[in-house]
A and B are shown apart, each in its own frame.
Chain A
Amino acid sequence: MKRMRSKWKKSAMVALAVAGLVGSGVGQALAAEQYMGLPSYRVGAYAAGGSGIFGGWIDYMQMINERDGGVNGVKLVWEECETEYNNARGVECYERFKAKGNTFFSPLSTGITYSVLDRVAQDKIPLVTIGYGRSDAADGRVFPWVFPLVTHYWSQASAMINFIGKEKLGSMDQLKGKKIVLLYHDSAYGKEPHEVLKRLSQKWGFELELIPVAHPGNEQQSQWLQIRQIRPDFVILWGWGVMNPTALSTAKRTGFPIDKIIGVWWAGAEEDVIPAGNASAGYIAAGFNAVGDQHPVIQDIKKYVYAKGKGNLDPKRVGSVYYNRGVVHGIIYVEAVRLAQAHFNKKGQPVTGEEIRWALEHLNFTPERLKQLGAEGFLPVMQTSCMDHEGAGVVKFQQWDGSKWKMISDWIVPDRVLVRQLVEESAAKYAQEKGITPRDCSKEG
């Protein structure tokens, strides 16, 4: 009898799986639950980043559920869907979540972002790309549903030049006549900073050399020999995955000073430097979140989540670069839910994608607010608006001392005027190609 029942149960579950495939919305959110789909990637070449960021994000939501009982009593619920960093799989996850009433989509992949870009406005699901492209979506008039929050690639490239000028050389005028090499991953991602850097090199009078590295970048001898011939003052490393440690070890072999290499934030995690061993000591990378576990928010996660054995990851990863970046995602998501509940008079009720979109456009992380959240200095002070879907644009720099990352700068501000001009030019072109009439922000509430 028992055996029969379990058999029945199993077939019922299989039927359920099939029903799930039909997308009939089995997991429709209940009254006091805020549902969200997480298109994570925990297998494949980029699993280090994917598991760290999505793990940190989930831990933060778990902490909010444990500590505060959710957002004003609304429990946060989520569901993962494995994308393998593959566009088609990502689209499938997006559609699967949509059928269940998704309210927030953040794929952590430029490819998947582009793949769903055309769909989000129609489906009324905000597409949130924290720290990656497309950069021109910062113009909220043309991209009402896309949010490259905190800081995008163009701001970062400009902040890097400001860091080199102000912090490394003493003043921006010192940039004149200097040589800077951009060593980049030869893909759409690696091409992101070209235009900004070209304009900045004209403005400040430094020489810019662009050197591509073919994917995946595990052989860079010829590039670094070329760099040795050019003898640049700085190398900006716009790398991804295995390209980063390879660049550092090859630089060391060819005798280029490691502390003159400045990496993009996808080249600035523990996973990027540890494989290069001793070669990476002194390497500097950008970041838009603090590292380490000293912040109250991370302490709370340890106390309410890991101490109870509910953690998503190996406790050793708590406080690492990717992990903390995931916590930044969590903070922004939860804050948007909270803000939407308050504004639409829905305290204690779930909010919709449209309401979250409004909230994302009205985020205001003041220093006081960040302190309340236990995240002072953990992420930058930022405020978004209908015009500006980025919010902050500032970047911190960190240095690898051989065993851990140390923050070596305050928040560095990019050349806002120049970056904004570029954003608006590119967004206007997109609007023209797609026949979009930009919103009039003065009429938005």
Chain B
Amino acid sequence: MIYREAGQFKASYEADMQIFPIRQDRIAIAAIVLFAFVGVPLFASEYWFQAIITPALIFSLAALGLNILTGYAGQLSLGAAGFMAVGAFATYNFMLRIDGMPFLVAMVLGGVCAALVGIVFGLPSLRIKGFYLAVATLAAQFFILWVLVKFPWFSNYSASGVITAQEIVILGWTVDEPVEKYLLTLAVVTVLALAAKNLARTHTGRAWMAVRDMDVAAEVIGIPLMKTKLQAFAISSFYCGVAGALYAFTYLGTVEPEAFNLDLSFKILFMIIIGGVGTVLGSFLGAAFITLLPIFLNQLFHALFGDSLPPAFASNVELMIFGGLIIFFLIVEPHGLARLWQIGKEKLRLWPFPH
């Protein structure tokens, strides 16, 4: 009943082609975005901005990037963290080497650099598929980090290979307070998430899904495989690159290449698997699950048991519960948390009068 679209007639093509065709969805999304932009800054503390929401948003963006490639276009990749590193280091270098470079332009250029690298490492996808492609992208992961450590130019000859983010100034607005950094991150993530949602419904997105479902059939109906796959690699890497730039500039400030290691790539892959492959919502749910649940468990254990448990034991139990929950959710719903929400929506549509 709550979710019924009865009575919502689409009288024009525009109305039929909206991103969110159901009124309830539009209201909910507008409310969430409004709350994130206005409500959260009013209520949340610095701890929430710096430790919880900002990183969760950044990882959501990275997961969204990987979801475009793996979820929509069906190309398994283990290089997401590598592309994030390209974005972070490229943005840093654009800011460093070009005087008066605006941050947003540097960030977009950083994303473009990541996209170019992504195209290069996407070339093997024309010949190999599935797990074999995952191995090829694994090479990207290692190669990118190796290059960043090997050639000190990328970190401006820093002795330990780390980069330190420059101050962000956008049209005279200095972004240095945690809440400002959060708002900047939120704005970028919102725009890119809407773009991704839209992209998935266009010709491009449909071509990706056709390739994912059966590439031979897609080729037969006239979808150029090379162009479609490389496009997916480019756009996905762009998203990851922007996420990397935000990771360095609005979240940590100082990063070493090692921060973008294989562990992070795996983590992003787990985010989309848990959240839901091939959905925009799933990227957000998965990122929240993977980044926030361990923190919540740790807090919960501290509050419940205090010092009465040996700390090593408590840490291990937290890890086990986390692992157990991952397995639980995958068994209950192999298609991810986004699918659970979809099922919930269908139930709400009928409630309280099931057939």
Chain A positions within 8 Å of B, measured between CB atoms, are 13-14, 16-17, 20-24, 40, 42-43, 47, 51, 79-82, 84, 86-89, 91-92, 94-96, 98-99, 110-111, 114-115, 117-119, 133-136, 186-189, 191-192, 194-195, 214-215, 312, 422, 426, 429-430, 433-435
Determine if A21 and B304 form an interchain contact, defined as CB atoms under 8 angstroms apart: no
B303 near A188 (CB under 8 angstroms)?
Answer: no
Cβ contact of A119, chosen from B253, B291, B294, B303, cutoff 8 A: B253
**Are B47 and A99 closer than 8 Å at their CB atoms?**
yes
A134 to B159, CA, bound (A): 9
Supposing A13-B303, A51-B312, A91-B55 touch, asked if A435 and B167 sit within 8 A by C-beta, the answer is yes
Q: Interface 1/0s, chain B 139-161, versus A by CB < 8 A?
A: 00010001001000000101111
Residues of B within 8 A of A136 (CB): 159
- List the A side residues contacting B295 at CB < 8 Å: 21, 89, 92
Main secondary structure of the interface of A (DSSP, over half): helix
Is the pair A23, B48 in contact by a Cβ cutoff of 8 Å? yes
Q: Which one of B23-31, B99-107, B238-246, B315-323 is at the A interface?
A: B315-323
A-B interface contact total, Cβ < 8 Å:
147
Contacts of B252 in A (CB 8 A): 87, 91, 114-115, 118
Q: Which residues of B contact A (CB under 8 A)?
A: 45-48, 50-52, 55, 96, 142, 146, 149, 156, 158-162, 164-167, 251-259, 261, 263, 291, 294-296, 298-300, 302-304, 311-312, 314-316, 318-319
A191-B159, A191-B161, A434-B164 known, 12 other contacts, Cβ within 8 Å: A14-B300, A14-B303, A23-B48, A24-B45, A87-B259, A91-B51, A98-B46, A114-B252, A115-B252, A115-B253, A118-B165, A186-B149
Q: Residues of A contacting B254 with CB < 8 Å? A: 114-115, 117-118
CA distance A195 to B160 in the complex (A): 10
Interface SS majority for chain B? helix
Q: How many angstroms from the CA of A128 to the CA of B316 in the assembled complex?
A: 27
Taking a contact as CB atoms under 8 Å apart, the answer to whether A42 and B51 are in contact is no
Of the residues B159, B291, B319, contact of A43 by C-beta under 8 Å: B319
Pick 29 A–B contacts, CB within 8 A, sort by A. A14-B300, A17-B303, A17-B304, A20-B299, A22-B47, A22-B48, A24-B45, A42-B316, A51-B312, A81-B302, A82-B298, A82-B311, A84-B315, A88-B55, A89-B295, A92-B51, A94-B51, A96-B299, A98-B46, A98-B47, A110-B160, A115-B259, A117-B164, A118-B165, A188-B161, A188-B256, A189-B258, A426-B159, A433-B96
Closest 6 CB pairs of A and B: A118-B253, A23-B47, A17-B303, A95-B51, A42-B312, A92-B51
CA A133 – CA B165 in complex, angstroms? 18
